[in-house]
Amino acid sequence: MEIKYLKAMHDAAVGEVKDVKTECALILIKLGVAVCAAAADADADAAADAAADAARKSKGAGAKKSK
């Protein structure tokens, strides 16, 4: 199972993605040391989409004020 580390460990830095045994991955996730890499990628994509939508909305709001 691929995990993304949230905290520095003896064999991984913060943000590093590693493939580890499922049993180990589940323990590290429960301890708050890591998250599932697939879930972390999905969250990052959703956040990027939300930021792009917000930027488009803020640009559109200023354009409507001319008369």
pLDDT digits (tens, 9 = 90+) for 11-42: 999 999 999 999 999 999 999 999 999 887 77
For the chain, what is the mean pLDDT? 84
Name the token pair of 21.
């045994």
What pLDDT shows up at residue 40?
75
2 sits in which H/E element: strand 2-5
pLDDT at 49: 75
In the chain, pLDDT over 70 holds for what percent of residues?
84
